Amino acid sequence: MVIVPAYGQVSAATRNGSVNTSAAKARAKPPAAAARTAAPPAPQVEHITVSRHIPPTANGVTNLTPGGGLMPPQTAPRSQSGLTRDFIAKQAPTANIAALVADLPGVNFSSQDPFGLTGNNMTMRGMTQAQIGYLFEGAPMADPINYQPYSSMMVDSENLGSVTVSQGSPDLDAPLYNAVGGQITATEINPSHKQRGFVDLAGGTHSANKEFIRYETGDIGNTGIRGFVSFSHTSYNNWRGPGGLFRYHVDSKFVKEWGDGNSISAIFSYNRQQQTSWRSPTLSQWNKYGDSFNYSGSFTQGDPTYYGLQVTNMNAETVILPSHFTLTKHLKLHVTPYFEHQFGPSNAGENIPTTGGYMGTQRYDSLVGIPTGNGSVLTEGVDPWDQKSGSLNMSLDWTRGHNKLSVGYWYNYTSHQELSTFRQVYANGSYSNSPIIDATNGRILTGYDLNFKQQVNTLFIADTLSLLHDRLTLSAGFRAAMVSRTGTNNVPGADPYYKAGNYFEPLPQFSASFKITPHDQIFVNGTTAFRAPASVEAYSQIFDPNNSHAVEQPGSLKPEYSIGEEIGFRHSGFVNVAVSLFNLNMTNHQVTSMNYIPGTTQLISEPINIGGQTSRGIQAEIGLRRWHHISPYFSGQYLHATMDNNYNAGGGNYLPTAGKIAVESPKFTGAIGLNYDDGRFFGNFALRYVDSQYTTFMDDEKIPSYITSDITLGYRMKKLGPAKAPQIQLNIMNIGDNHYLSGGSSFTSNAHPVNTVAGGLYRSSTGGASTSAPIYLVGGAFAAMVSVSAGF
C-alpha cells in the first residue's frame, strides 16, 4: 500500500507500480482563474491510496511474480531464469532445488524419486549437474571434488526464498571452478521483523510424511538482530523396491543490520539422511523387468543384492557468514567465510574370496576370523568418506559516477579421506561392526585408501560502465583461477601412489546490454569457464578383492574449458518474454559416468574425456502477470550438441564419433505451467516434455522421449482460531503414472559392435567385439501428498 499526498510533494504511483509524474504535477497545479481571484486557501492534505491486493499467506505467496512464480524480472546481460515463493510454496514440501527448477528453459530434470527429495539428476543445455555451479547464500554447495550438488541437503523448501538459473555462464565473482555449463543460485528467506512461526505437516502415498516447524524471533530488543530456527523430519518407503528414506534437517539464519547497507548474516544447516539406494537397470533389463528390477526384499545367504545392504548416508554441517559493509559513500566490502563438512558412509553388498583374493595387487592367503571352506564370504562394503571444506570469498566495489570497479579474491581449502572396508554379513542379514583384516599383512582389507587435498586461489577484476542515462551497460572482467590438488592411495601396489594436478586458467568475460525502452532489453555476452577434473577417481586407482589389478584407472587430468556466446532479448510487462541464442565450444569435455564396480552393487564415478564438444541452440520463455487470478507460463529449448572428435577407446582404437549427437542432450525440451490463485482457492498445473537422449558416444543406444505432468490443488483460509492463513494443499506428481527411463546413469562408447576409424572391429582384450551397456535412472511414478500448514 502506498499513501501519496495529492499536491505533488512526492510522485504519484500508478496502478502497476510505475511512477506517473505528469499526473501528479497536473493534480498539484491550481486552476489559473482561482489563482487570480482569491488567495489560496489554507493547505488541506488529501491522501490517495494506491494498493495491490495481496492475499494474506503464511508461506510467503504474494502472487506478484509473472508466470505463477516462474518468471521474476531479470536484467542481467545473459540468459537467466528464476522462481520465487509464489511457485516454491505450491510444490510438494519434499521437493529439492533440482526438482523445483525442472520447468525452466534448458533444464532437463531426471527424476528417480516422485517426491523430488533425492536420487535425482539434472542437465542444462546438455551439461550435467557436475558442470553447473551451485551457490547457496553466496557459498558453493556442491561437493568441491566430484561437483555433485546433493541439493536435498542444502535447505528445506519451506525456507527457500528464491532460485536463479543462469543457463550459460557463471558470475565472474562466483566462488566456482566447475561451472562450464552455468550457475544455479539459491537464497534463503529472510527472518521477519515480527515474532511468529510456521508449521507444515504432510503425508502421502508410499507412507510419505514430513513434519516442519519454524520459529522466528522477530527483532530482538534494540540489537538490530533477528533470526529463525527450523526443524524437519521426512520419511517414506521407496516407490519401487524395498527400503526407504529418513531425513532430519535443521536450518537457522540470523541477521544483524545497521547503518547504510551494513549487514552480517549467520546461516547454519545440519542434515542427517539415509536411503536405500535405487537399482539402475540396463536397457535390456528395463525392457524385461520394468519397475520390478530392484534389490531383493528378503535375505538369502550369499546374495549381495539384499536391500538391507544397499544404504546411502548423506550428512552435512554447513556454516555461512555473508557480510556486507559500506566503508565510504563510494566503497563497499563484501566478505563471505563458510565451512562445510560432508560425510558418509555409502554401503553395498559384495561376495569376496576367503582365500586367494587381493588387497590392491597383493594376494592374501586368508582373512582374520573368516573360515576358508566356502570359497567366498558375503560382505558389506562400507565407504565412510569424510570431507571438510573451508573458504573465504571477498570483493571490493568502488563506484564513481557511471563507473563501477570490482576486485576480489577467493581462497578454499578442502581435505577428503576415504578408506573403504568390508564387514562380514551374518545369517540374519545384519553385518559386523568391525572391518575384515587381511591376515597376510595385518591391515584392514580395502579397495581404496584415499587421502586428497585441494587448495584454490582465485583473483578477479571487473569494470562496469553505464552510458546514455543508464540505458547502455558495458561490462568486462578477468578472472584467474589457480587449483592445486594432491592425492595418495595407500593400497599395496597402487600405481601411482601419489598424484598431483595443478591448474591455472585465465578466464575473461564481456557483456553488453541496451534498454530499447523501459520494458525491452537486448544483450550480448562472451564468457569463458573451466572445470578441474571431477572426482578423486581421476587421480587414484580403485581396487577390488576379486581382481588382481585395478578395476578403474585414473582418468584424464586435463581441465575442461568452455567459450560461450549469447545474444538475447527480453520484454517485461503484462506479457513477459525472454529469448536467447547460444553457442558453447568446449575442449577436454569430461562426461561423468556413474557405474557399478564389476560384481558389486557399489556405484563409483568414472570421468571420461571425450575431447571437444559444440552446443548450439535457442531457448525461450513466456509468462503472464496474474489476470483474473490466472498466470500461465511456457518454456522451451532447441539444442544441437555434437562431439567434435573421434573417441579414443584405448589400445589404439579410435571410434568414429566426430559429428555424433552428444549424450544427455535432448533436441527438444519444453514445459507448460498454469497457476490459479484467488486468495482462497489455488492450483498449479505443469506439463514437461523431454526428447529422446543418447547414452553412448556412437549414438547406438538411447532412451525414448517422455512426458510427465503434476498438479496442485489447495484451499486457504484467512484465520482459524490462533492459526494464521491456514491452508490445505494436495500435490499429485506424475498424474498419468508414466513409467519411463528419465536419464542415463552411466555412458559408454558403444552398446553394439562397431568398426574403428581404421576399419577394424573394435575388440576387447579377450578378442571378442567390445560392447558395454549403459545403465539408467528410472523415472518416479505416480505419487500424491497432502499438506496442512499455518502460521502462528
Which pLDDT tens digit goes with each residue over 310-352? Answer: 999 999 999 999 999 999 999 999 999 999 999 989 999 999 9
Mean pLDDT of 133-153: 90
Does residue 309 surpass a pLDDT of 60?
A: yes
Structural contact between residues 670 and 644, judged by C-beta atoms closer than 8 angstroms: no
Rounded mean pLDDT, 729-749:
95
State the DSSP string of 722-766. TEEEEEEEEEEESTT----EEEES--BS-SS--B-TTSSB-B-TT
d(Cα 230, Cα 630) in Å, to the nearest integer? 32
- The predicted pLDDT at position 438 comes to 96
Q: How far is CA 293 from CA 19, 349, 465, in A?
A: 62, 17, 59
Q: Is 330 left (phi over 0), alpha (psi -120 to 50) or beta?
A: alpha
Q: Which residues pair with 337 in a beta bridge?
A: 392
* Gap between the Cα atoms of 89 and 511, Å rounded: 34
DSSP string, 594-634: EEEPTTSS-EEEEEEE---EEEEEEEEEEEE--BTTEEEEE
Q: Is the pLDDT of residue 7 over 60?
A: no
Q: What is the pLDDT of residues 435-444, one digit of tens each?
A: 999 998 999 9
User: What local confidence, expressed as pLDDT, does residue 755 receive?
Assistant: 94
- Between CA 622 and CA 634 the distance in angstroms is 5
Q: For 409-446, give the DSSP string.
A: EEEEEEEEEEE-EEEEB-TTS-B-SS--BBTTT-SBP-
Q: Where are the alpha helices (DSSP H) in 51-110?
A: 85-88, 97-100
Model pLDDT, residue 118: 80
pLDDT range class, residue 511, cuts 50, 70, 90: very high
CA dihedral (595, 597, 603, 604) positive or negative: negative
Which DSSP letter does residue 306 get?
Answer: B
Q: Residues 70-119: pLDDT tens digits? A: 999 999 999 999 999 999 999 999 999 999 999 999 999 998 999 988 86
Q: What is the mean pLDDT of the chain?
A: 90
Rg of the Cα atoms in the chain: 29
Q: What is the pLDDT of residue 119?
A: 66
- pLDDT-derived band at 753 (thresholds 50, 70, 90) equals very high
The string of pLDDT tens digits covering residues 675-723 is 999 999 999 999 999 999 999 999 999 999 999 999 999 999 999 999 9
Strand 323-326 with 358-359, pairing: unpaired
Range name among 25-34, 250-259, 324-333 with the lowest pLDDT average: 25-34
So what's the pLDDT on residue 108? 93
Q: Among the listed ranges 9-18, 230-239, 268-277, 382-391, which one has the minimum average pLDDT value?
A: 9-18
| Mean pLDDT value across residues 498-519 | 95
- Contact at 8 Å (CB) between 637 and 670? yes
Lowest mean per-residue pLDDT among 44-58, 178-192, 374-388, 727-741:
44-58
In 184-217, which positions are buried (b, 16+ CB within 10 angstroms) versus exposed (e)?
bbbbbbebbeeebbbbbebebbbebbbebbbbbb
- Residue, of 604 and 35, whose pLDDT is higher: 604
**Residue in the block written with cell 546374495:** 303
CATH superfamily, region 196-285+304-428+450-791: TonB-dependent receptor, beta-barrel domain (2.40.170.20)
DSSP secondary structure letters along 197-265: EEEEEEEETTTEEEEEEEEE--S-TTS-EEEEEEEEEEEEE-SSSS-EEEEEEEEEEEEEEETTTEEEE
- pLDDT score of 752: 94
Cα 286 from Cα 278, distance rounded (Å): 13
Query: Cell numbers of 146, please?
Result: 566430484
Would the pLDDT of 647 be above 80?
Answer: yes
The more confident residue out of 198 and 602 is 198
Cell digits of residue 615: 552446443
* pLDDT value, residue 48: 47
Tens digit of each residue's pLDDT (9 = 90 or more) over 479-488? 999 999 999 9
Cα torsion through 54, 59, 61, 62, rounded to 10: 30
* Mean local confidence (pLDDT), 246-259: 97
Q: How far is CA 214 from CA 56, 193, 247, 484, 751, in A?
A: 18, 14, 17, 41, 51
Q: Distance (Å, rounded) from C-alpha 99 to C-alpha 780? A: 12
pLDDT digits (tens, 9 = 90+) for 561-602: 999 999 999 999 999 999 999 999 999 998 888 888 877 888
Peptide bond into 66 cis (omega under 30): no
Output 13 or 138, whichever has higher pLDDT. Answer: 138
Question: Bigger pLDDT: 45 or 137?
Answer: 137
The yes/no answer on whether domain 55-188 falls in CATH 2.170.130.10 is: yes
pLDDT at residue 186 greater than cutoff 80: yes
Instruction: Please determine, for residue 650, whether its predicted confidence score (pLDDT) is greater than 90.
Output: no
Q: Return the pLDDT at 5.
A: 32
Query: CA of 164: how far to CAs of 44, 73, 649, in Å?
Result: 47, 11, 39
- The pair phi, psi for residue 66, each rounded to 5°, is -55, 155
- What pLDDT, in 10s, does the model give residues 520-560? 999 999 999 999 988 888 888 999 999 999 988 887 788 99
For residue 698, the SS3 value is coil
Which residues contact residue 93 at a Cβ distance below 8 angstroms, ignoring those fewer than 6 apart? 156, 157, 158, 200, 202, 210, 212, 785, 787
Percentage of the chain exceeding pLDDT 90: 80
Domain residue ranges in the chain? 1-52, 55-188, 196-285+304-428+450-791
Cα gap 307→245, rounded to integer Å: 12
Q: What is the pLDDT of residue 233?
A: 98
Q: Is the pLDDT of residue 23 over 60?
A: no
Query: Can you read off the three cell numbers belonging to residue 771?
Result: 560392447
